Structure 1
C-alpha cells in the first residue's frame, strides 16, 4: 500500500471515529430502562445520558429534561462527561494535524516536516480513542453489575444503551486510523555508507549545499606570446688561435 493510500485510509477512519465520538457524547442513551406494567398503556422507556434524561411513553410521547446538576449523576457518568469532552478536543486537534501534514495539502513544503506532523496527529487520535474507551467500559461495567445485583428493583434495572456501542466503535476507528497514520512515514535516508571503509562525497566546504564552485584562478602578470625575446642581447663568443681559450 502506498503512502498516499495509507494517509487517506487513516484519515477516513479517524474522521468516522471522531463523528462517532461526538454522537456518543450527545445522545442520551448511555443507559436504557424499559418498564411494562400490568397495563400496556403504562409502558415507558427511560434514557439516561450525560447531558439529559428522556422518558418515552408507549403512546409515542417523549419528554426530556436537561441535567441541572452534575452531582445527581452517578460516578461513572460524571467521569464520562469530562473524559468524552477531553477526547473530542484531542481528536479534533489530531484530525487537523493529519490534514495539515498530509500530501494532499500544501501547508508544509518539506517532506520530513509533513511526516512528523502526520505522525503527531496519529498519536493524538490514538490518545483520543483510549480516553473514549475508558468511560465507555466503566459505564458498561457499572450498568451490568447494577443489573445483576439482587438489591436492584426490577423496575429500576438498566441495560446498555446505544451510546455504549457507538463509543466502542468510535474508539476502534480512532485507534486503527491513528496506527495507520503512524506507519505512513517515508523511508529514512541512509546516514552511513553500505560498504565499510567507504564514505560518500560531501562536496566542497564552501558554497551552498549541493553546488560545486571551481577553484579561483588568477590572471598572469605578463602575457606570453609564444616567442622568447631576451631583454639584453649577448654578442657571440670569439675564439683565440690557441685551442680551448676564449677571448
Structure 2
C-alpha cells in the first residue's frame, strides 16, 4: 500500500513496474561502480561536484520562489502600472533561454552591477571608507544562481498567480465581511488553500532545476557536469564518465519526484480530512 501510494500506482490499481525496472538497473550500476575500479574512480571524481549541484539548486529555487511570489503579487495589484510591470517581466524572462540568461547575467549583468555600485559608492571610497568593487569579487557560482533565480521566477510567478486566482472569490468576500485586512485575507484564507494548487507544479519546477543546474558548468562552476567534463577531457573516458553523470542525475530526479509526490498526497489527504 505505502509503496504503491508513493509511486502513484494505487490511483489506477496497477503496479509500478517502471520503478521496479529502474531500481534493478540502479542497483546493477551501483554494483558496477563498487566492483569496477575505473567506474569507482569516475564516480568519486564526478560525485565531488554533488554538493555544488545541491547548493545551486536549493539556493536558486529558494530565491526564485521568493521573487516569483513577489512578481505574482505585483501582477495582482490594483494598480494597473504595477500589473503591467509584472506582466512585462514575466513575458520577457520566459522568452529568454536559461543558457542565454546565464551568459547574460555572468558577463553583462555582473559587470554592469559592479559599475553601478562603484558609481554610487564613489564618494565613500574617496573618503577612505571602502574599496571599489571588481567583477571577480562576484563568484561565478553566485552569478549562475542569480541567473537561475531570475529565469525560474517568471514561471513560478505564473504558478502562484494561477493558484491565488483559483480561490473562490466568495471566501475572500466573506473574509472582508469579517473585518480582515488585505494581508490577513492573504495569510489566513488565500495562501493556505492556494498552496495545494501550486505544490505539484512547483515540485515539477524544482526537479527541472536539478537538471538545469547542469548548465552552470558552462561558467566553470564545479558541479557534477563540470567535474565530469574535466575528467573526460583528460582521460578520454567519455562513455564511462557521462554514463555515471546520467546515473547520478537520474537518482536525484527520480528520488525527488517520488518524495515530492508523497508529500503532495499527504497534503491532499490532510486537507481532505479537514
Report which of the two structures shows the higher radius of gyration computed on alpha carbons: 1
- Regarding TM over 0.5, the answer is no
Structure-2-length-normalised TM-score: 0.26
The structure with the greater share of residues assigned to strand is 1
Question: Which structure would you say has the larger RCO, counting Cα contacts within 8 Å and 6 or more residues apart?
Answer: 2
Structure-1-length-normalised TM-score: 0.28
The structure with the greater share of residues assigned to helix is 2
